[in-house]
């Protein structure tokens, strides 16, 4: 892909995102064939945001998620500030196609992790973290069937990024907590309850954060101080409908909730 085809792909995906429309896949002339080309398209989406980047998301951090999307590993996407909500907020439902909510461990960074030749290890990455937060991700895709388009196009489509709700920083000693063994309860009030586990996120949410730091390093991108990384769903996503109230309870690490707007 050249500069023109990369920009054309980003323009098409952005317009479909804003208009809440979907497409089968990107036209062949603008279709990324590699992960690197997908990230190049995704970067152009960030440039359409009116605010500095809020952070990053990780998709497909479980074997079930990878099987569902037919990819062989995680995918990174951007959290755009305009699509981030505070705890307890009402979130637009609109023409959401995926119709699910995910419970996620999110980390806010205290210092930069710039690109480098040597991979970051988990101890280095965790030393660069400021706070841990319970979070809700409400993903969506601009593709009609997101299970068949493949990793490069999913990455270009912001790794199914859509809306995000950040809960309060944990006040418990989360650094001394075994996050892999930590349980989470998700609820759509009055309708469905589902349990999750930190180990469902690449074995440990800290491992997922380390993966993200190294994925960004590999594409020459700095994970910056102040940015938030949400590490992927730790439970089977909860099915949502308009007006649904979503509650994700992380026990001693806090809870986060949101309400979907009426359609």
**What tens digit of pLDDT does each residue of 14-65 get?**
999 999 999 999 999 999 999 999 999 999 999 999 999 999 999 999 888 8
Domain annotation covers residue 46: no
Give CA–CA dist 231/125, Å, rounded.
13
Nearest residue to 161 (alpha-carbon basis) of 245, 215, 81, 263: 81
Asked if 167 contacts 146 with a C-beta cutoff of 8 angstroms, the reply is no
pLDDT single digits (tens) 148-170: 999 999 999 999 999 999 999 99
Tokens of 126: 């965790």
Q: φ, ψ for residue 223 (rounded to 5)?
A: -85, 115
Domain annotation covers residue 129: yes
Domain annotation covers residue 161: yes
pLDDT of residue 189: 86
pLDDT of residue 167: 98
pLDDT of residue 65: 87
Mean pLDDT, residues 134-143: 98
pLDDT of residue 72: 87
Domain annotation covers residue 37: no
pLDDT of residue 64: 84
pLDDT of residue 190: 79
Domain annotation covers residue 21: no
User: Total structural domains in the chain?
Assistant: 1
Question: In this structure, is the dihedral angle defined by the CA atoms of residues 63, 67, 71 and 240, taken in order, positive or negative?
Answer: negative
pLDDT single digits (tens) 180-202: 999 999 999 878 899 999 999 99
Domain that holds residue 87: 52-260
Mean model confidence pLDDT for the chain: 96
Domain annotation covers residue 153: yes
- The confidence band for 226, taking pLDDT boundaries of 50, 70 and 90, is very high
pLDDT of residue 28: 96
Mean pLDDT, residues 84-100: 97
Domain annotation covers residue 10: no
Domain annotation covers residue 66: yes
Nearest residue to 202 (alpha-carbon basis) of 90, 25, 94, 76: 76
CATH (domain of 188): 3.90.850.10
CA atoms within a 13 Å half-sphere pointing along the CA-CB vector of 55: 25
């Amino acid at each position: 892909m050249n500069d023109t085809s990369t920009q054309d792909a980003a323009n098409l995906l952005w317009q479909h995102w804003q208009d809440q429309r979907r497409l089968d896949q990107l036209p062949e002339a603008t279709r990324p064939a590699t992960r690197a080309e997908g990230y190049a398209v995704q970067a152009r989406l960030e440039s359409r945001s009116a605010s500095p980047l809020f952070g990053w998301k990780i998709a497909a951090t479980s074997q079930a998620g990878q099987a569902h999307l037919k990819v062989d590993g995680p995918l990174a996407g951007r959290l755009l500030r305009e699509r981030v909500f505070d705890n307890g907020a009402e979130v637009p439902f609109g023409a959401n196609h995926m119709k699910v909510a995910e419970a996620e461990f999110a980390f806010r960074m205290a210092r930069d992790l710039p690109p480098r030749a040597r991979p970051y290890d988990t101890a280095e990455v965790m030393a660069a973290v400021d706070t841990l937060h319970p979070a809700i991700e409400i993903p969506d895709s601009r593709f009609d069937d997101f299970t068949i388009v493949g990793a490069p196009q999913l990455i270009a489509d912001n790794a199914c990024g859509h809306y995000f709700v950040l809960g309060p920083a944990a006040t418990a000693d989360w650094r001394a907590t075994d996050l892999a063994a930590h349980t989470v309860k998700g609820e759509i009030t009055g309708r469905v309850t589902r349990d999750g586990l930190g180990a469902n996120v690449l074995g440990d949410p800290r491992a997922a954060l380390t993966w993200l730091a190294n994925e960004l390093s590999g594409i020459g991108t700095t994970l910056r101080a102040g940015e938030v990384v949400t590490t992927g769903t730790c439970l089977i996503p909860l099915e949502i409908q308009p007006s649904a109230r979503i509650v994700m309870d992380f026990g001693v690490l806090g809870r986060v909730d949101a309400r979907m707007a009426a359609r």
